[in-house]
């Protein structure tokens, strides 16, 4: 893995795929790389960082050797996007268990709200270099 930040996401979740595209559009310098949770690379990365208690509904960020999960990952990602997305970090005043409770409710219903693909997304040629392990 190079020095980019790695986002591990649910590759069959339509909302998650939209979130990946959202990040790519606001990451002109290519700081972020992506891998679907379903990939062997993601599973190896999780094992190497001793993350064992996550499901496919959990977004994970590996940044500078540290791991962030759920809302901590989302807020850390927002910090590095162009525009005013860093302002979302005001939500860090809410205790993580409370933020993650809302996250889990949304994650549990994401397929009902946004649908589910039959397989992981295939990136277009212009962003393929941003994806690892697919």
* pTM across the whole model: 0.90
Asked if the structure places residue 127 within a domain, the reply is no
Q: Note down the domain range covering 15.
A: 5-119
pLDDT of 117: 78
Asked if the structure places residue 128 within a domain, the reply is no
Asked if the structure places residue 35 within a domain, the reply is yes
Tell me how far apart the alpha carbons of residues 89 and 68 are, in angstroms, rounded to a whole number. 14
Asked if the structure places residue 126 within a domain, the reply is no
Domains held by the chain: number: 1
Taking only the tens of pLDDT, the chain with its 134 residues reads 578 999 999 888 889 989 999 999 999 999 999 999 989 999 999 999 998 777 777 899 999 999 999 999 999 999 999 999 999 999 999 999 999 999 999 988 988 888 887 767 677 788 888 998 87
pLDDT of 52: 78
- Contact (CB, 8 A) for 101 and 6: no
């Amino acid at each position: 893995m190079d020095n980019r930040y790695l986002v591990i996401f649910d590759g069959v979740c339509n909302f998650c795929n939209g979130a990946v595209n959202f990040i790519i559009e606001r990451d002109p310098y290519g700081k972020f790389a992506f891998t679907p949770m379903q990939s062997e690379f993601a599973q190896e990365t999780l094992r190497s960082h001793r993350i064992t208690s996550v499901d496919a509904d959990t977004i994970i960020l590996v940044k500078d050797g540290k791991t962030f999960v759920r809302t901590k990952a989302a807020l850390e990602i927002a910090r590095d996007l162009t525009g005013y997305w860093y302002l979302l970090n005001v939500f860090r005043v809410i205790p993580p268990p409370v933020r993650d409770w809302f996250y889990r409710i949304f994650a549990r219903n994401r397929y009902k709200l946004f649908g589910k693909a039959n397989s992981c997304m295939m990136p277009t040629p212009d962003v393929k270099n941003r994806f690892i392990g697919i």
